[in-house]
Amino acid sequence: MRRRLANYRRRLLDGPWQLQGCTAGDFAGAVVIPACGERQSLPLTLAALAANPVEDLRRWLVVVVVNQPPQAAPSLLAENLQTLAWLEAGGAPSSLRLAWVDAARPGQMLPEKDAGVGLARKLGCDLALPRLRPDGSGLLAWLDADTLVDNNYLAALETHFATHAQGGTTLPFAHQPADSPATRQAIDRYELYLRHYVYGLHLAGSPYAYHSIGSTIACRAAAYLAIGGMNRRRAGEDFYFLQQLAKTCGVHPLAGTLVRPSARRSQRVPFGTGEKVARLAAGEAAVSFYPAENFRILKTWLQIVSRHSAADASELLDRIAIRSDSAAEFLRDAGFPDLWPKLVARNRSPERLLRAFHGWFDALKTLRLIRHLGSFSADDETSGLVAELITWGNGSAPREIERQLALLQRLQGVVSGGTREQSCAMLCSVANRERI
């Protein structure tokens, strides 16, 4: 671990930032929380974390990265200064091993070029790494400053990585209650979009069948170092980070706890949950749904490569062309005919060849293929498309969007505590604890 951390130091951010607050070390893990204009919601997130057992809290460092770019509005700076003052005054629950980073005051702000959630997550992780156990067993987890967690969140993370060899994981999630009927309808539609896509990938046998939501990601510190750390993207950092984790160390979904992201509208990042919810609530077609046939074609393609790895590129493309000319066209344009013989030459065993193939045909190429095969955004198409997909995997499916969402939640690990009423009750409970 020390050698990997030493090698990683060349990737560390060069700047004035340091951890304030907790000075202890030798932690089992760290939870990193970027906060940008989150004075009202951050206390609720920290209160939810503080509801975990004290013996678990002692083993985990919580790092809040209060951040903003130099060109941010004065109102954002004022709110971030309030957040820093609240942290410095000891406003957070005393049971937390809490540290924070000032990346908001003049002279401390994130550089304009890369300022955003990706850089904030990276900064928090880079500063937390030396505080973790030196034997390499430490863990890293990410939340957002408007996200709630269950009171077994930390224990579930430790149990998962103690029983699974993969380097990364994603946690089950269900969005918090919305503040209006329009936002509720928008977040339900957006979550249905996320879930139907991942469910389709699961049915197709893709190794990238997981949700790319920043507040649901965790990994081993050793895996974080192995892939070069978090990227600096302003949005989509979660997608590309998980893709690299999956290629290098594997990603296995966690079960047994629940993360509750916010359902609010937002324009803080160029794309993501808040932006999509805002557009959907405004009546825009912000997301597209895919026919089950797209995922059946993907499954056929993955099976062809797995079962006929001794074949040359032209034979593999001929086989998928029987199923879909459009898929064959996409793969030709993506450079598969030139790539495949190189992969074969470099990877002598079928297992290594298949792993190298999935390194090339990654989460991004998978998404591009699914999109290439066609999508629909009209409201009257959504229910039928999702019903067809669920029927393929489950044998039957409801037609109502709300029931489809509830079924997909259950199929994807939201086994308890995920109903809208339970989420509302938890939010009220956390808010009451924070007031106390």
Q: Domains (ranges, CATH) in the chain?
A: 2-173+211-256 (3.90.550.10), 292-372 (no CATH)
- Do 21 and 98 meet the contact criterion of CB atoms below 8 Å apart? yes
- Do 401 and 188 meet the contact criterion of CB atoms below 8 Å apart? yes
Minimal CA–CA distance to 210: which of 429, 352, 367, 37?
367
Distance of CA 264 to the CA centre of its chain: 17
pLDDT recorded at residue 436: 38
Distance of CA 228 to the CA centre of its chain: 17
- In angstroms, the first-to-last Cα distance of the chain is 41
pLDDT recorded at residue 430: 53
What DSSP assignment string belongs to 100-136?
A: EEEESSTTTSPPTTT-SHHHHHHHHHHHHGGGB-TTT
AA identity, residue 428: C
Residues facing residue 30 across a β-bridge: 61, 140
Per-position pLDDT tens, the chain of length 436: 667 777 776 667 778 999 999 999 999 999 999 999 999 999 999 999 999 999 999 999 999 999 999 989 999 999 999 999 999 999 999 999 999 999 999 999 999 888 999 999 999 999 999 999 999 899 999 999 999 999 999 999 999 999 999 999 999 999 999 888 888 888 999 999 999 999 999 999 999 999 999 999 999 999 999 999 998 887 789 999 999 999 999 999 999 999 999 976 454 544 566 777 778 777 777 788 999 999 999 999 999 999 999 999 999 999 999 999 999 999 999 999 999 999 999 999 999 999 999 999 999 999 999 999 998 875 667 889 999 999 999 999 999 999 999 999 999 999 755 554 454 455 545 545 554 3
Minimal CA–CA distance to 101: which of 160, 16, 26, 161?
16
Distance, CA of 249 to CA of 244 (rounded, Å): 8
Per-residue pLDDT tens digits for 132-187: 999 989 999 999 999 999 999 999 999 999 999 999 999 999 999 988 888 888 89
AA identity, residue 398: P
What six digits make up the tokens of 176? 């918090």
Distances (CA, A) of 371 to 81, 293, 404: 43, 12, 22
Distance, CA of 366 to CA of 321 (rounded, Å): 17
Does pTM surpass 0.85? yes
Sheet holding 60-67, edge to edge: 19-21, 97-103, 60-67, 29-35, 139-142, 217-220, 168-170
- Do 43 and 51 meet the contact criterion of CB atoms below 8 Å apart? no
Minimal CA–CA distance to 301: which of 260, 266, 334?
334
- Do 397 and 390 meet the contact criterion of CB atoms below 8 Å apart? yes
- Do 65 and 35 meet the contact criterion of CB atoms below 8 Å apart? yes
Per-residue pLDDT tens digits for 330-374: 999 999 999 999 999 999 999 999 999 999 999 999 999 999 999
Task: Read off φ and ψ for residue 275, nearest 5 degrees.
Answer: -65, -45
User: What is the DSSP secondary structure assignment for residue 262, as one 8-state letter?
Assistant: -
Minimal CA–CA distance to 295: which of 213, 170, 360, 388?
388
DSSP-derived 3-state class of residue 199:
helix
pLDDT recorded at residue 418: 52
Minimal CA–CA distance to 173: which of 257, 246, 251?
257
Minimal CA–CA distance to 52: which of 139, 130, 158?
158
